[in-house]
Amino acid sequence: MISISAVGMLNALGNDMAEIAVNLSRGYAPGMRINHSRLLQQRPCWLGEVTAKLPAVPAALSRHDSRNNRLLLGALAQIRDPVDRTIAAYGADRVAVVLGTSTSGLDESDQLVSACQRGQTLPGYHYHMQELGDPARFLSAYLALNGPSYTLSTACSSSARAIISGRRLIETGMADVAIVGGADSLSRMPINGFDSLESLSANRCRPFSAERDGISIGEGAALLLLTREPHDIALRGIGESSDAWHMSAPHPEGSGAIRAIQMALMDARLNAADIGYINLHGTATELNDHIEAKVIHQLFGNRVPCSSTKHLTGHTLGAAGAIEAALAWLCLTQDIPLPPQDFTDATLDGGLADCGLLTAPGRLERRFIMSNSFAFGGNNTCLILGDH
């Protein structure tokens, strides 16, 4: 069984695990705020921003100096001691790095294009910053590792797939431990891209509400250290599937999501009744919430408490799977209430299938948490965390 020995994270909820735990229990996200500069014509939208002063990228690695990679350093700083001990114990060639991202250094490239349009240059810019493979390449170089290292980009399931891949590298003997997770930073292109798809809300997103009208984009990073050595919390089950249905819309019956969830349950050797909480993908788009509620009702009825946390973090795109797995780890390791769905300025959509949505803080009664990530192109993942 593969354990999770350490977790570091930062997002709109807070700048480290302790702050995030406190704010998650309060339902308070200081980084969720109105922004007037990212959308064209300076129209307002809600974004989830990281407020921390991020670590600097060393001069020797300046070609990797993107906000995305600085977010990774912010998460790494929280688990640096166990990471260093792990590298010393197993060797630099036995530590894998598998990360997920959607943006990488896209914002730096946007700044370059804007500078060029003004007839200027952007000192220090290097194409490495924009490459989708750069996060894992950078983190491996920063830690002087030469084990397996790669980045996955499957939209909103990217970092969940990175976690799955890291576990498999250990299980197949290609690595002894794996640093897995992901990062995504705010950038004008995805924000305006989702707006052009009419999927971006002008308000803070309201998953599963009758008034929901789209996502709120966020930024953040999460890193998890996977190992064969026993620790309190394990990655008990993994599942993944592909709809092969539509470039952006989920399968109307949720068939791919169902397969991923069933695969994770089977892998964990658990039944639906064993799950104590489900962190829903819950983007607050019309189709996603409708289909996910139907899938959960079909598989679990309304017996398992569930909610989406994206109103507290924003949708962190490629980092979402790892961030929400890290939130699940927090709920398992800290005595904090399960996060309810926020309907303070909205109403629960009565047309959704009854899937056990939490409307008030709850307690974890069964020690297994499931986290779903469903991405463009029908890339579906499901992770189950629980006691070792």
Which residue among the candidates 281, 290, 306, 331 is catalytic per the annotation?
A: 281
Contact residues for 130 (Cβ-Cβ < 8 A; gap 6+): 66, 104, 105, 106, 108, 109
Contact residues for 261 (Cβ-Cβ < 8 A; gap 6+): 239, 295, 299, 370, 372, 382
HSE-CB for 323 with a 13 A CA cutoff: 37
- DSSP strand E in the chain: where? 3-10, 32-35, 45-48, 95-100, 149-152, 177-184, 217-218, 220-227, 233-242, 277-279, 306-307, 368-375, 379-387
Reference 184, options 86, 108, 71; nearest CA is 71
Pairwise CA distance, residues 318 & 315, whole Å: 9
Helices (H) and strands (E) in the chain, counts: 11, 13
Q: Is 156 a catalytic residue?
A: yes
Bridge partners of residue 221, in order along the sequence: 10, 183
Which residue among the candidates 156, 205, 331, 355 is catalytic per the annotation?
A: 156
Q: Is 388 a catalytic residue?
A: no
Contact residues for 80 (Cβ-Cβ < 8 A; gap 6+): none
For the chain, the residue count is 388
Whether residue 263 contacts residue 281, with contact meaning beta carbons closer than 8 Å, is answered with no
Which residue among the candidates 64, 290, 311, 315 is catalytic per the annotation?
A: 315
DSSP 213: -
HSE-CB for 199 with a 13 A CA cutoff: 17
- C-alpha distances in Å from residue 6, one per residue of 93, 119, 166: 20, 47, 14
Q: Is 315 a catalytic residue?
A: yes
As annotated, the active-site residues are: 156, 281, 315
